[in-house]
């Protein structure tokens, strides 16, 4: 399975950040290829609705054809780590080759993204900084892999 994380942000902003170190660590542990694609809305003007629509177009452009889209949203479904692992395994076993996780900007994700998502997922009832959301997602992907393979990282 190939993983894409498409997120709104500023490319290169966190090169020496502690969060970036954690992102790199979890990416290196995963056996699945992980592409992180940052997009930035460089247009000014307009309110939150216009900004979300522009960001949605940027996020959706360049996703692997036929990828399962997972939108990260605070109002999304909460899954346990085991349920998340089982969901990924079901997609894999069902022949899905690409899963794309989309993380919006400060105003959240546009309705067009939410409508295209097979799963709208909440990482927490709390709001997290976008870089930490990436860390949380990558850690959960690693945990899912460990659950699927019986690796001792996740203990019941």
Q: Each residue of 109-139: pLDDT tens digit? A: 999 999 999 999 999 988 888 889 999 999 9
What count of residues does the chain have? 156
Tell me the percentage of the chain whose pLDDT exceeds 70: 94
> Has residue 107 got a pLDDT over 70?
yes
Per-residue DSSP letter, 33: -
What count of other Cβ atoms lies within 10 Å of the Cβ of residue 33?
Answer: 11
pLDDT tens digits, one per residue of 40-66:
888 877 899 999 999 999 999 989 999
Q: pLDDT value at position 42?
A: 83
What domains can you pick out in the chain, each with its CATH number?
Answer: 2-149 (3.40.1280.10)
State how far the Cα of 72 lies from the Cα of 133, in Å rounded to an integer. 9
């Amino acid at each position: 399975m190939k993983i894409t994380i498409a997120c709104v942000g500023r490319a290169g902003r966190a090169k020496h950040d502690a969060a970036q170190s954690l992102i790199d660590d979890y990416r290196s542990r995963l056996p699945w290829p992980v592409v992180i694609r940052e997009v930035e809305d460089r247009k000014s003007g307009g309110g939150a609705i216009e900004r979300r629509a522009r960001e949605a177009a940027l996020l959706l452009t360049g996703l692997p054809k036929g990828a399962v889209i997972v939108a990260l949203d605070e109002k999304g479904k909460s899954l346990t780590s085991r349920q998340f692992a089982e969901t990924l395994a079901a997609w894999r076993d069902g022949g899905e080759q690409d899963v794309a996780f989309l993380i919006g900007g400060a105003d959240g994700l546009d309705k067009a993204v939410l409508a295209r998502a097979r799963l709208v997922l909440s990482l927490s009832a709390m709001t997290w900084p976008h870089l930490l959301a990436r860390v949380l997602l990558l850690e959960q992907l690693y945990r899912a892999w460990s659950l699927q393979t019986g690796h001792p990282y996740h203990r019941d």
